[in-house]
Chains A and B, each alone.
Chain A
Amino acid sequence: MTDNAPMMPILRVEGVSFVYDSPIGGKSVQALNDISLVVETGTILTVIGPSRSGKSTFLRLLNRLQEVSGGGHLTGTILLEGRDIYDDSYDAYQLRREVAFTFDKPQALDLSIRENILFGPRLAGITRRDELDGLVEETLQAAFLWDEVKDRLDLNANRLSGGQKQRLSIARSLALRPKLLLLDEPCSALDPVSTAAIEQALIKIKHRTTVILVTNNTKQAARIGDRTAFFLMSDLVEIGPTRVIFTNPNDQRTDDYIAGRFG
């Protein structure tokens, strides 16, 4: 599957397949099958597809987070700004700062709101007080959470609501100053108001930080995506401008999924 992008791509995925190691006594599972696509700088790519289609695995491969949660075998290459992220010379920890990740379940470290945001920057070695303070305000603003928490930054983050925690997660990811932000169904457990805030935030940040959003909510994919990819049973069925995918897809299966005929 080729995909000619007009802008300079930040990410190029070439022929990526992934097989999960067999759990004891079980069969190994093909999670991704020959995926190729590019993501342009400054855009939002939304990834849709039914569950178990490989979307989340795909996302976790993009910042090598898959390595820490279980074994598997990867073939193909993933290039971030032209550099192979699975090359031995690429520091996985540095990569995870460049390609940040937000999980589906809202979760906070058992620390204050401020220290949640600063956890990543401190690990990266940032110590200047004014720089850290600036990061806190800047990222909370970007995640539309600043106004709600600016007077209680020292409150334990676990006291926040689910929607607030998820926006905190996005702020925490942005505090790494990533080039690329990956989000794995970030709104699956949230109310419509928090969902809207997160969507707004993503649209606002995409000019600085390219976004890949995996979602089960096709309407959300249509609302904020510049381009959309449709995964089905480990395959990338189709990728293209979101408008085209949702109005005039090439593949009948894409049409069926979007129309809600399965999934």
Chain B
Amino acid sequence: MDRRETIKSLFVTSLAGGLVLQSCAPDKVDSVEVVPADKTNVYGRTPEEAKRDKDLFSEIYFTEHEIETIAVLSDIILPSNDSYGSATDAAVPDFVEFMSKDLPYHQLPLRGGIMWLDSQSNKLYNSEFVKCTHEQQISLVDRIAYPLDAKPEMAAGVKFFSLMRNLTLTGYYTTEMGIKDLGYKGNQPNVWDGVPDDVLKEHNLEYDPEWIPKFVDQSKRDVQAQWDDDGNLIS
């Protein structure tokens, strides 16, 4: 069993009194394939960069308890819905683990934040955060999830939760599932011919009629450019 599956199974077993994993609708995108550690050199790495990646993958920073806490929090931040999977379905804990080694300045705020959360949880419920009921977890999270309303004594927790929220959002929306969820349509060959008409209308905008003749005529994009002596395009 690799580490990712370990994380996933730990997470599922920790949910006894908490979240119920929803059954998947047929068209639901509910998990992602994350490139395994030994196949990361698919994105144009120099030899030094490939080695750095490999070294980081060989290290483990978070303890199992910490990664379990990160998993629970990330799924509170982004639970699954009818169409898409949750943060852990998008392997967010793996991403947070990697980033803590790639950008070590994340290590202390995350480790300390998890300890802070457990301290609060122990005070309130006499239990570590991950062992609390879902209702107890949500009740605690509600005290740190809203920066403008949180009590001053919760400031450290607010900071930690904001960091977790940021990493969870980035970790999720940079996966294939998250990109589909977001609706990003690019990163593929296409021919840009301006803002769609219905969008222009919706925003009460139009292309200046004087500018229209200046723009590229996409039907002639493959015709080799030629100019007259004054620099006027004639092809």
Question: Is B truly associated with A?
Answer: no
Which B residues contact A (CB, under 8 angstroms)?
A: none
A interface residues, Cβ below 8 angstroms from B: none
